[in-house]
Structure 1
Amino acid sequence: MTARVLYLFGSAAPPVFEAGKVIQEAQARGWDVCPGLTPTAAKWLGPQLHELEALSGHPVRSEYKMPGEPDVWPPADAILLAPATFNTVNAWALGLTSSFVVGVVAEGIGKRIPTVTMPCVNAAYVQHPAFDRSVETLRGAGVTVLYGEGGFAPNQPGERRPEGFPWHLALDAVSTIVSPSP
């Protein structure tokens, strides 16, 4: 039996540097992982992109394919977008699909692909009124948003938590909404 397919997307926040570790953890949980990044995250991880491709067995995507080109990934059984920045969350909620990652997750709502996201935003950003509206919009569309209690809690600007980004919560949530094949 083949593994279920997880699209693992990340935007440009420091936890994206842990993508390799997260791919391995998802694979250990039975997922075939297809990694995608926002354009800025792809620049940040430039030196690691070949390693992520070798690890996942799939190309790392950060741009739309050209019309008529075949898809290079199998269809997704689930999507995990983490870390999701302030910009990514707001663009997604508004349906602004100028980036590949936001386009796929926006379309995923209509395709009813089980989707989990965990924002990575600081306490200053979440004071902007658009953020709470965006989180509620995404939740209303059926996206599991791990923000607040039981998810990501904002820290002060420039502050890093010694315990790190709670990747285990994100992967647990994906496993809860779609169990990978054994």
Structure 2
Amino acid sequence: MTTLYLFGSAAPPVFEVADVISDAQQRGWDVCLGLTPSAARWLEKDVPELERLTDHPVRSEYKLPGQPDVWPKADVILLAPATFNTINQWALGITSTFVVGVVAEGIGKRIPTVAMPCVNAAYAQHPQFDTSVETLRTAGVTVLYGAGGFEPNQPGERLPYPWRLALDAVAGRTA
């Protein structure tokens, strides 16, 4: 069975993560859910159900030295939704959070990784964002951004998040 690390940061599509987990499990994947600290706070009341659904603890913090790993080894990683902050931290190697630390290390471990941002058009205009996306792509990460991926919405606008594109890209990276 393929183990998928599904990581999410604090953007509105993270509230749909239970459905995404179910879709991934229907594809035959064992899902481990990791959240940025803010996303974990947003989903705090849902964590028991998410742990039941995945049969794994939901993680948002690094384990302490000497503690055993509680997840199986990842075969593939999906980071979605990935906020402006998360994408930039990752590309710059700033691993102050568990999720960013794992995906940053995943590049060096050559774990197939897909990321799909969730940023509004105002954030997307910041010059660092395009640089960060290109840095991650150059490192071998499939970044679903722009035509054929996530396209920025206007600030405050809520559009459907293309989760199916993300799961299809994960399937393509594990084929």
- Which interval holds the TM-score relative to the shorter structure? over 0.9
Q: Which of 150, 159, 165 is matched with 2:161 structurally?
A: 165
Matched residue SS, 1:80? strand
**CA shift for structure 1 position 129:** 0.2
Provide the rounded CA distance (Å) in 2 between the counterparts of 1:30 and 1:136: 31
Correspondences of 1:1-182 after superposition (within 5 Å): 3-161=1-159, 164-179=160-175
**CA shift for structure 1 position 114:** 0.1
Amino acid at match of 1:168: R
Provide the rounded CA distance (Å) in 2 between the counterparts of 1:131 and 1:172: 24
**CA shift for structure 1 position 76:** 0.2
Amino acid at match of 2:161: F
Matched residue SS, 1:124? helix
Q: Which aligned runs of 4 or more in structure 1 are off by greater than 6 angstroms?
A: none
Matched residue SS, 1:76? coil
- Aligned-pair identity in percent equals 75
Aligned length: 175
Provide the rounded CA distance (Å) in 2 between the counterparts of 1:103 and 1:160: 29
Taking structure 1 as the reference length, what is the TM-score of the superposition? 0.96
**CA shift for structure 1 position 103:** 0.1
In the alignment, structure 1 segments of 5+ residues that lack a partner are none
Matched residue SS, 2:121? coil
**CA shift for structure 1 position 27:** 0.2
**CA shift for structure 1 position 26:** 0.2
**CA shift for structure 1 position 16:** 0.2
> For residues 46-99 of structure 1, what are the alpha-carbon distances to aligned partners after superposition, in whole Å with 9 as ceiling and x for unaligned?
000000000000000000000000000000000000000000000000000000
**CA shift for structure 1 position 143:** 0.1
Amino acid at match of 2:141: V
**CA shift for structure 1 position 20:** 0.3
Taking structure 2 as the reference length, what is the TM-score of the superposition? 0.99
**CA shift for structure 1 position 149:** 0.6
**CA shift for structure 1 position 19:** 0.6
In the alignment, structure 2 segments of 5+ residues that lack a partner are none
